[in-house]
């Protein structure tokens, strides 16, 4: 067994401190190792921490030893393992959504929801130290409650969410069907709202079908980028072409993304062969990966994409790819700006490190992380008007019975129709 006494000197005397420092050093060396070693593309090599790292580890050992010997309630050091807590806080200081999951949490995160447990139907990020809504998913409890992009959830059932982990927040929002949860939210105008929400299974509202809005202009609501949803999109666009649609409006508002693979399949449906879709820009330039379209049959009718502040992640990849290749214009308001690819690495003890490992780079070469995409035609709706449209469900209107009424309220959709009717 390697002894750490020489490395840390007199700081490592207590056996428990030595074990904790050994764990700290092991995880740190893993984080400092080249990605090629982690991914198994090169032979593992010994990574010697630079002198600065040695000093940091020595200081950590000194602090830990002093706490174990003199802290008034040493039992708390056992209740909250100091190495795991320290590492997690360090990881979260780099990125608010990054996290270090315990072995038990890692297993739970990769498992499907147990029978009878309902997903709350909301995509969250961390902003200003609170969980913040990216968008409420179509047909979910959060949408029905009226949660909207930018709302900060500041308390759940009376307990503050300040500095909470997304893993814990999502767990607190998931519960058996028919159970209720009380949320306190702060909107972007600084107004606090209280929501009492009954958890129910997601309805079928998010499964949209093609609509024709007159003058052979087709409309389709794409709520998420999942393979099943994209397969339906493929079928519906074929139907639009079979009915000789002159143009297509694809509604990506409050589409918080989904899976990278689904976004690639969807983009290839509309982009010509060899058109660039997106590049993954890693910390090491030699790992950069570019994805392009293929030779499959294409949908070639003119398109407009509706976007807003809830359009994020893979939806932004798709929107940027079509815009940069001059395949479609964007109509609406600035998108969310979620431009990182997150990866999860399982560590030797079964814990998991979730961190951003690459940046999405659209064909234009302009990253959108933190800034979003500015539409070609900007149509900003009043926030409460857009909230009401989102609660009702974008695209859920009946064209024959209430289509005209919706167009008077939904200025972005009305503007898209106007542009395509020219």
Q: Report the percentage of the chain scoring pLDDT > 90.
A: 63
β strands within 98-246, DSSP E: 99-101, 117-118, 122-127, 130-136, 152-156, 159-160, 175-176, 180-186, 192-198, 211-212, 217-221
**What is the structure's pLDDT at 384?**
94
Q: How far apart are the first and last CA of the chain?
A: 77
191 secondary structure, DSSP code: -
Distance CA 111, CA 92 (A): 23
Query: For the chain, what's the residue count?
Result: 422
Q: What is the DSSP string of 352-404?
A: EEEEEEEEEE-TTS---TTT----SEE-PPPHHHHHHHHHH-TT-S-HHHHHH
Distance CA 420, CA 398 (A): 20
Distance CA 378, CA 65 (A): 58
Element housing 344 (H / E): strand 340-346
109's tokens = 């995160």
HSE of 158, CA atoms in CB hemisphere, 13 A = 0
**What is the structure's pLDDT at 274?**
96
pLDDT band of residue 406 (cuts 50, 70, 90) is: confident
pLDDT tens for 168-210 read: 999 999 888 888 999 999 999 999 999 888 887 766 554 567 8
CATH number of 207-420: 3.90.226.10
Mean pLDDT, the chain, as a whole number? 85
Dihedral (C-alpha) 29, 31, 37, 43: value to the nearest 10 degrees? Answer: 0
Q: What is the DSSP string of 110-141?
A: TSPPPTTEEP--EEEEEETTEEEEEEEPTTSH
Nearest to 301 by CA among 278, 316, 282, 322: 322
SS3 category, 184: strand
pLDDT tens for 284-330 read: 999 999 999 999 889 999 999 999 999 999 999 999 999 999 999 99
Residue with tokens 């542009």: 419
CATH architecture, range 117-198 = Roll (2.30)
Q: When comparing pLDDT for 206 and 50, which is higher?
A: 50
Nearest to 146 by CA among 409, 417, 392: 392
CATH 3.90.226.10 domain position(s) in the chain: 207-420
SS3 category, 158: coil
Q: What is the pTM of this model?
A: 0.83
Q: What integer is the mean pLDDT of 255-260?
A: 96
Residue 232 confidence (pLDDT) above 70: yes
Strand duo 175-176 + 211-212: pairing: unpaired
**What is the structure's pLDDT at 156?**
96
CATH 2.30.42.10 domain position(s) in the chain: 117-198
Contact 262, 175 (CB under 8 A): no
**What is the structure's pLDDT at 114?**
84
Residue 239 confidence (pLDDT) above 60: yes
**What is the structure's pLDDT at 84?**
82
């Amino acid at each position: 067994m390697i002894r750490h006494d020489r490395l840390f000197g007199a700081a490592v005397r207590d056996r428990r401190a030595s074990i904790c420092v050994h764990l700290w050093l092991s995880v740190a060396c893993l984080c400092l190792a080249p990605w090629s070693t982690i991914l198994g593309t090169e032979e593992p090599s010994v990574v010697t921490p630079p002198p600065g790292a040695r000093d940091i580890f020595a200081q950590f050992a000194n602090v830990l030893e002093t706490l174990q010997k003199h802290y008034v309630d040493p039992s708390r050091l056992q209740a909250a393992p100091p190495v795991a807590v320290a590492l997690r806080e360090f990881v979260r200081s780099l990125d608010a959504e990054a996290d270090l999951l315990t072995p038990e949490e890692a297993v739970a995160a990769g498992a499907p929801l147990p029978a009878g447990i309902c997903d709350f139907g909301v995509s969250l990020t961390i902003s200003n130290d609170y969980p913040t809504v990216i968008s409420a998913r179509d047909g979910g409890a959060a949408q029905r409650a009226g949660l909207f992009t930018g709302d900060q959830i500041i308390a759940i059932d009376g307990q503050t969410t300040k500095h909470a982990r997304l893993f814990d927040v999502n767990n607190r929002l998931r519960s058996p069907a028919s159970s209720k949860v009380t949320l306190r939210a702060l909107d972007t105008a600084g107004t606090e709202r209280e929501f009492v929400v009954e958890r129910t299974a997601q309805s079928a509202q998010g499964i949209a079908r093609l609509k024709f809005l007159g003058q052979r202009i087709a409309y389709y609501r794409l709520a998420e980028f999942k393979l099943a949803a994209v397969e339906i999109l493929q079928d519906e666009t074929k139907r639009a072409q079979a009915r000789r649609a002159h143009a297509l409006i694809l509604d990506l508002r409050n589409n918080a993304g989904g899976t990278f693979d689904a976004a690639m399949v969807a983009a290839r449906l509309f982009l010509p062969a060899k058109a660039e879709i997106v590049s993954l820009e890693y910390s090491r330039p030699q790992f950069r990966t570019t994805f392009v379209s293929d030779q499959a049959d294409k949908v070639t009718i003119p398109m407009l994409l509706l976007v807003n502040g809830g359009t994020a992640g893979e939806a932004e990849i798709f929107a940027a790819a079509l815009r940069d290749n001059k395949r479609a214009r964007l109509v609406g308001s600035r998108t969310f700006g979620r431009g990182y690819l997150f990866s999860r690495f399982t560590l030797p003890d079964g814990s998991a490190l979730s961190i951003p490992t690459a940046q999405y780079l659209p064909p234009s070469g302009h990253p959108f992380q933190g800034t979003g995409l500015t539409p070609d035609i900007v149509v900003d709706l009043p926030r409460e008007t857009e909230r009401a449209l989102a609660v009702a469900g974008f695209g859920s209107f009946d064209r024959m019975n209430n289509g005209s009424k919706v167009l008077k309220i939904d200025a972005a959709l009305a503007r898209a129709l106007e542009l395509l009717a020219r």
